[in-house]
Amino acid sequence: MTKVPDSFDPSNYDADVTRQENVVEVVVPTTETSGPRVDKYLTRFYPEASRTKIQRAIKKGHLKVNGEGVKKSYAVEPGDEIVFRLIRKPPMQAEPEAIPLDVRYEDEDLLVVHKPAGMVVHPAPGHRSGTLVHALLHHVEGQAVAADDDPAAAKDEEVGLSMINALPEAPDHPVVRPGIVHRLDKGTSGLLVVAKRDRAHQPLAEQFKDHTVERRYRAIVWGEFESPRGTIEGAIGRDPHRRQRMAVVPENEGKWAVTHHKTIEVHADTSVVEFELETGRTHQIRVHARSQGHPLLGDPKYGGQRVRYGSQDAARRDFFEALFDTLPHPALHAYQLGFVHPITGETMHFEAEPPAAWQHVRRRLETEEGRASGMER
């Protein structure tokens, strides 16, 4: 149910106005003689909505003045009886969905799962179904969670997953993420720990905050790092030129990030690298690797889905196009995860081999491109 915002108070308006949820009924007072456009006039009754949203609803026929449909440019007159309904998307919600789930460990407080590449972790605009959260709710036989649920009434025992930070912090941030302590990008496969109980969530989150969680990734990158072992440091923030991407930015414009890397295997123009996160920023490995001139193979957002090194002849381009079809996302896999169990105090360690498509691409690179060195490092 859509709630009327606290900022709406009928006594604040020089008009006979009522509002139920997202529907406003107003009689224009005799003092309103300036003839304002109706779309602009209605904005005063929807402090939480933009004029563009109001215009969109008018265009779809959700405005009546004196019982007749009018255009957004209609000039309001004294005595007009206006009925308007603002269009709203249904609240973000996660319901149990019978999606296969690879559970590597489970007890009454937490789970460790292996997320496949291509799966989004939690519901958000553009991803209202098919996420890891939907699969988790089905697995724990929990109940649906909606963005407009009352936080005080949402209990982890009923949902089956921790409700700490599970509901939106603000109306413009409509995500639903029960149980989620940390995330992996949609295109990244690998291990995640999920909190089933509130009592487990906060201690786990503290371990991530204190950088004591062991997180190692295997990736295939373009080229070879200058040193087989090293550390990349640099603040990460929005790319000032392409706002949909992240980038290494001046320290005062982003969040400090630290990524350790170790080269495992070198091919002619690509290499297999182990990355270890000391911090956990958005797209951290992908951004740091690109900043060094070694974007992840197959990464469409950061320049990894084209031939970056070596010959540009047609046969070689066709070879890599076939690899990109096999692995249509960054060649990145979270293969190691370690933490202290928040309730028992036991040290937990998990490993998961990269998926078959990742392994196939690595073998093809080794076979067709050859190794630049005779052995793994």
Within 172-274, residue ranges assigned H as helices are 198-209
What residue type is 373 in one-letter code?
S
Q: What are phi and psi of 146, to 5 degrees?
A: -120, 150
Helix 356-364 / helix 314-326 crossing angle, nearest 10 deg: 160
140 Cβ partners below 8 Å, 6+ apart? Answer: 160, 161, 196
The total of other beta-carbon atoms located within 10 Å of residue 279's CB is 15
Residue 75 DSSP code = B
Q: Which of 185, 239, 313, 325 is catalytic?
A: 185
Are the CB atoms for 146 and 63 separated by under 8 Å?
no
Q: Is 80 a catalytic residue?
A: no
Distance CA 28, CA 41 (A): 10
What SS3 class is residue 337? strand
Q: Is 323 left (phi over 0), alpha (psi -120 to 50) or beta?
A: alpha
Choose among 168, 171, 116, 117: nearest CA to 145: 168
Which two tokens mark 360? 């196939």
Q: Tell me the one-letter amino acid at 285.
A: I
Using alpha carbons, select from 224, 290, 229 the residue that is nearest to residue 257: 290
Give catalytic residue positions.
185
